[in-house]
Structures are given as structure tokens and as C-alpha cells.
Amino acid sequence: MAAPTDRAAAVRAALRSLVAQNGFHGTSMTAVAREAGVATGTAYTHYASKDELVLAAYGETKAALGLAATTDLDPDLPAERRFHALWLACYRYVKANPDHARFLLQVEHSPYRGPAHESVLTDENNPLLAQVTLPDIAARLHPFPLDVLYELSLSPAVRLAAGGIELTQAQLDEIADACWRAISRPE
């Protein structure tokens, strides 16, 4: 018998996979439970509603993306090079986890967008947000709202990975640099 946290994780993973394939309207709690290998009642034991489940899965997905992007990040790199490395790490993570990329895009184009972003922006342990607030990076950024900074910087990595577009390393490097130019002021 799986532990309760394993069941909750299975439910979140099933939701991500089904939403990535079918969208939100094509993903019922019954289908999520079936995909997770649990009873529908078990899914509701962990998440009182589909909305609660979506926000939990989104938070988990963003946390995994943030961790993947920042784990090997060299804090001694200049801001521009650190962003470049972070962007490439984000791209590699979502390219290796296409359901995560497609799930994130589904959330971005749904009524869940606002509450999902709010939940991530209020997370004090958000490693991507921590990077944006570092003095050397913060001083270089245009004074755009965080949502705009994300759309111009890391969102292209998610969209490209979700679309399955094959790019060379040189192209990825150029795109990462273009994203940095879009959000930063010249020194």
C-alpha cells in the first residue's frame, strides 16, 4: 500500500499529464484518480477540489523548475551570464519534462493563471524569484511587473520546449541572450 504522500504526488502527476494532453476541460477528477491508480475519493481526500489540486500541481511544477534552474548556478558569474545559465537550465528541464511544459502553458491560458501566479509569488522559498531580487540582477532589470519579466525571459523556454521545436546550442544561446536583452537595461 502506498503512503498517503505518495498518493498525493501520484494525483498531482496524473493531473499534470492529463491536463498536458487534454486541457482542463478534458480532465476530470475521476480521470485523474484513474490515471493515478487511486479511488476518486482518495484524490478528494488529498485535494478538496480540482482547483486546489491544480494549484498544488502548479506550485510543485514551478518549484521543480526553479530547483533545476538554480541548483548548479554559479553565484559568482556576472548577472548576464548567470541569467544565460539559468535560462538554459530551465529550457533543459522543460525539454526533458514536456508534460510539465505543456501543463504550465495550459495554466497560463486559463482562469487558474492569476491564483497560480499569486501562489508562486508569495512563496518565500521560490529560487527563481530569489534570483530576480539579487542586487546585481535587480539593478539591471527594467521595472516591469514580475509577470511581464517572466513572459519576456523564461516563458519562451517553456513555450519552445512544449512545442517540441528542435534548436541547436547556438540558437539556444542566442535566444537566451535575446531574452536577457528584453528584460535588462544596458550597463
Per-residue confidence (pLDDT) for residue 8, from 0 to 100: 93
Amino acid at 144: F
> What's the rounded Cα separation, in Å, for the pair 28 and 17?
12
Cell digits of residue 95: 525539454
CA 15, distance to chain mean position in Å, is: 15
Give the phi and the psi of residue 141 in degrees, each rounded to 5: -80, 145
Cβ proximity of 16 and 103 under 8 Å: yes
Per-residue confidence (pLDDT) for residue 3, from 0 to 100: 53
Averaged pLDDT in 10-residue chunks for the chain of 187 residues: 72 96 94 94 92 96 95 95 97 96 95 92 87 92 92 96 95 98 93
Per-residue confidence (pLDDT) for residue 146, from 0 to 100: 87
Per-residue confidence (pLDDT) for residue 1, from 0 to 100: 45
> Domains along the chain?
1-48 (1.10.10.60), 50-183 (1.10.357.10)
Closest CA to 149 of 176, 101, 183, 184: 183
